[in-house]
Every structure is written in structure tokens, then in C-alpha cells.
A and B are shown apart, each in its own frame.
Chain A
């Protein structure tokens, strides 16, 4: 479809003699959403940090393409409450104008929080603020380490949808880390299943049929499908609740 943004060849990494990543080779493509899944301790975050060149692999190569511009959304952020910092100022650390920050905050739906202290934001709002800071840099590659962490299920859906829309609008490749299987499946072009080595990879439907995937995650047969027939505003209010269907035995209005 298009050119690779970053290419990994035979990457190995060990911590204290214990191998964490074993011979990882992969390509991340422009305009493609790739999701990295795997159990705890599979080396997902280590791989992300190698791709971001925050740490060096023991062996193997990481080759970013020329003109690669990364927007990163880290897994966690702890800002001491003694640091007086508004959400807008937090975004401005990415080296941009006041105006651009407000625009980015509006784009992720938290424009009203621009002057709030960053420490007062809820889990979902922090994720959106981080996403806003990532897109501020006009990236062609977004790296999101567990982007829906600490967000409720409805919010997760909304956030995944937003990531999908933003990546399309910015025409950038996305690498997303998740252990949230069925939510990710719909929002992703390619799944890489990692457990220290790459177990399997491919389209979501393909991967769920793969024996290596089933060995790790089990057969995901009876996934509860939530019939969500209304929408929420950012504050959790039901927007169109009056026209939803009640099941039998439901006797409220």
C-alpha cells in the first residue's frame, strides 16, 4: 500500500540475563493501524521503547524512514500536584503556539479543560490530553501505549474511534499497544501477537484463528456483545436515551 515508516530487523533485548525480546523483525507502514497484543511481560512496552529509540536493542537494527515524525502517547504520566500546570500549558511543552494547543484540545473534545490544572483531569481526559499533545507535532507515525487505560468501556470505544479518525485525517501510521482484544479488533488493520517473539501476525480475523494466538489467549468464543443503542457526551450524559429499546420484563419508561 505505501512505504514503511520504520523497519526492525532481528531485534533482541535482554534485561539482567533474561531475554525479553527475541529476534523481532517487523515493518510499520504509512496509513496503517497496527496493534501489538500480548500477555503481561511479553515485552510490548520494551518493544515500543526500542521503536521510539528510547532504549537501544542488544542486537538487530531499527531503521526509521527519512522524515519520520513521531507522536507518542505514553502509558502513564505522573505529574506532582505541586507543579502548577494547566492543560493548555502541558500541550505547549510540545513546542507550539497557544492557538494550536486550543485547536488540538478542541479536536479531541476537551477544549473546555484548557485552563484546568492537568492534575485535575480524569483518566479519560488525561488520555485525550496526551493524544492532543501527540497530534500537535503533526506526526506521520503515532505510537500509543495502552491508550484506553483507565477509561470505561463506552469511553474506550469512543477513544478508539477517535484514534481511527485522527490517523485517517493526518494520514499517519499507528502503532497501538493493547491487551484489550475484542475492542481493538474492529479498529485495526494488522495485529501482531507478541510473547517475547512474534507469535503470529496478520488481519484481526486471521490472527484470532491462529493456533499460536489461541494458545496464549484461549478461544474468544463467548464475548459479551454490549448492545449500546445510545450515545454519551463526554461527561457521560445519555444524549439520545429516550429512543432506546427495552427488553422484555423491563417496566420503566
Chain B
């Protein structure tokens, strides 16, 4: 096996492992559109990172995080519904990112790879970043698992029972921003939400507890990466979209199996 394929596989597996449990929260809390908005703003993160000459990994995580905090602030002001706010921010961020990238002098940024991922160009350094971030995310998820479930079920009840709801919520946003930053390399900003929610939705039908669902989603996301990469290798298709296609196929398969059963 060639190195670049091994790197791609390892990178994909690392991201998939954390995309599973986080994706469960995205599904449980109905945050799909929210995830999309943060993912789109990651493109702006790339543009600003290049423009301001800061480390791209940092700017790609920082912009979605700022976006998330801004959203919370605007939502609490209660000027517009969350849905409308997300619609505005999501597409403004995507458009601004595209415009800023086109204005960058002397820098050739491969737009397609930002939008749809560039799994086959993963380097060893990328792998270090991905696994460090994935480990941090996993640690946070395990540490905050119970309060996260509790605020997902009923936030006010959780608050009365002594959970610091806004701190836990902010931590979930941080986790989301971190996962987006590492998932961008794999599937690109336009397809990140798919990698989060499709494995989780597939796992729902096979799980009886939240923990089970998180683990099954993780396993399904990892299987999806393996299948997607094989497909990409065999058919010479783009890797990121191939991964998402395989996720969708697995989801449909789970529907069929359930209807028969």
C-alpha cells in the first residue's frame, strides 16, 4: 500500500472516530443547520489565516468558534429566530470566505479541496494534528458526557440540578469547532455535516442507550471512511464525496433492513 493512501486512511479513521459521538449530539439537539453554519465559516477561517499569516489549523478552528459564540449572543438578544440567523450567517460566511480567497494576492488556494476535502494529500504533520485534536475532543466528550446528555434532555432541569448549562453548551461548541477544523481536510466544508449526522442517524436504529448510539455511530463512520477510500481508489472518484456517498448508502441499507425485520 502506498504511503499517501495509508495516511488518508489513518486521517479518515481519526476524524470518523470523533465524528460519531459528536454527530449524535448534532442529531439529538437538532443542530444540523448549526453545524453547517460553523463548517461554512471554516472557509472564512482559511482565508483569514492566509491573509493574516497565522497557522491555518488555529484560524480554521477559531473562526467557527467565534461564529458560535456570536450566534449565542445574537440569539439571546432575540432579534431574529435562530433559523433565520443561521441562514444569514451560514451563507454570508461562505460567500465572504470565497470573496476573500479570490482577493488574496500571490496565493494559490485550491478551492475545490477546501470545499470537498483533499484526503489524499494528508501529510504526517496533518496526522499529528488530527490525532491530537481527536484525543482532546474524545477526552472532553467523556469528561462532559453526563452533563451533555442532561442538558440535551432538559436544560432547565439540568440547571436546577446544579449543572452549569452555559459552560457545558460552550464546551460543546468548542468541540464542534475543533471537529470541523480536522474534518475539513477529509470531506471539505460543504460535506462536514454529512459526516456528522449520517452515521449517527444510521446508528439510531441499532441502539438502545445514548452510549451505544455514540459507539455504533463511531464504528459506522469509520467503516464509511474505509468504504469511501476503497471506492475512490477503485473508481478514481474524489475521496471526500465518496466517503459521504458510502455513508448515505449505509443509511439507506439500514432503512431497508429495518423494514424487512
Closest to B161 in A: A94
- Tell me the complex Cα distance, A197–B159, Å: 26
Contact between B156 and A54, CB atoms less than 8 A apart = yes
Contact between A80 and B28, CB atoms less than 8 A apart = yes
CB-CB < 8 A to A85: which residues of B?
153, 209-210
Asked if A169 is an interface residue, CB under 8 A from chain B, the answer is no
- Tell me the complex Cα distance, A213–B69, Å: 45
Question: Of the 9-residue stretches B144-152, B185-193, B245-253, which lies at the interface with chain A?
Answer: B144-152
Chain B interface: which size bin?
20 to 34
- Tell me the complex Cα distance, A79–B160, Å: 18
**B147-173 vs A, Cβ < 8 Å mask (1 yes, 0 no):** 001101110111111000000000000
Contact between B150 and A93, CB atoms less than 8 A apart = yes
Asked if A110 is an interface residue, CB under 8 A from chain B, the answer is no
Interface of B is mostly: helix
Query: Given A89-B209, A93-B146, A83 and B161 touching (CB < 8 A)?
Result: no
Instruction: Write 24 A-B pairs (CB below 8 A) sorted by A numbering.
Output: A52-B159, A72-B160, A72-B161, A74-B154, A77-B153, A77-B154, A80-B29, A82-B27, A83-B152, A83-B153, A84-B207, A84-B208, A84-B212, A85-B153, A85-B209, A85-B210, A86-B208, A89-B209, A90-B153, A93-B146, A93-B153, A93-B157, A130-B157, A143-B160
Interface of A is mostly: loop
Nearest CB on B from A132, distance (A): 12
Closest to B25 in A: A83
Contact between B157 and A74, CB atoms less than 8 A apart = yes
Asked if B91 is an interface residue, CB under 8 A from chain A, the answer is no
Contact residues of A between 140 and 177, Cβ < 8 Å to B: 143
CB-CB < 8 A to B146: which residues of A?
93
Nearest CB on B from A66, distance (A): 16
CB-CB < 8 A to A74: which residues of B?
154, 156-157
Partner of B201 from the list A49, A79, A82, A137 (CB cut-off 8 Å) is: A82
Instruction: Give the 4 A-B CB pairs with smallest separation, nearest first.
Output: A72-B160, A83-B28, A93-B150, A82-B27
Contact between B149 and A84, CB atoms less than 8 A apart = no
CB-CB < 8 A to B210: which residues of A?
83-85
- Tell me the complex Cα distance, A82–B150, Å: 15
- Tell me the complex Cα distance, A77–B156, Å: 10
Closest to B207 in A: A84
Chain A interface: which size bin?
20 to 34
Nearest CB on A from B211, distance (A): 9
Closest to B29 in A: A80
Partner of A52 from the list B27, B160, B201 (CB cut-off 8 Å) is: B160
Closest to B147 in A: A93
Asked if A37 is an interface residue, CB under 8 A from chain B, the answer is no
Assuming A72-B157, A83-B153, what are 7 further A-B pairs, CB within 8 angstroms?
Answer: A54-B160, A72-B156, A77-B157, A80-B27, A90-B153, A133-B157, A137-B161
- Tell me the complex Cα distance, A54–B160, Å: 8
CB-CB < 8 A to B204: which residues of A?
82, 84
Closest to A137 in B: B161
Query: Given A54-B156, A90-B153, A93-B153, A80 and B30 touching (CB < 8 A)?
Result: yes
CB-CB < 8 A to A95: which residues of B?
161
Nearest CB on A from B220, distance (A): 14
Closest to A15 in B: B78
Asked if B213 is an interface residue, CB under 8 A from chain A, the answer is yes
CB-CB < 8 A to B152: which residues of A?
83
Contact residues of A between 38 and 67, Cβ < 8 Å to B: 49, 52, 54
Contact residues of B between 33 and 62, Cβ < 8 Å to A: none
Asked if A70 is an interface residue, CB under 8 A from chain B, the answer is yes
Contact residues of A between 70 and 102, Cβ < 8 Å to B: 70, 72, 74, 77, 79-80, 82-86, 89-90, 93-95
CB-CB < 8 A to B200: which residues of A?
82
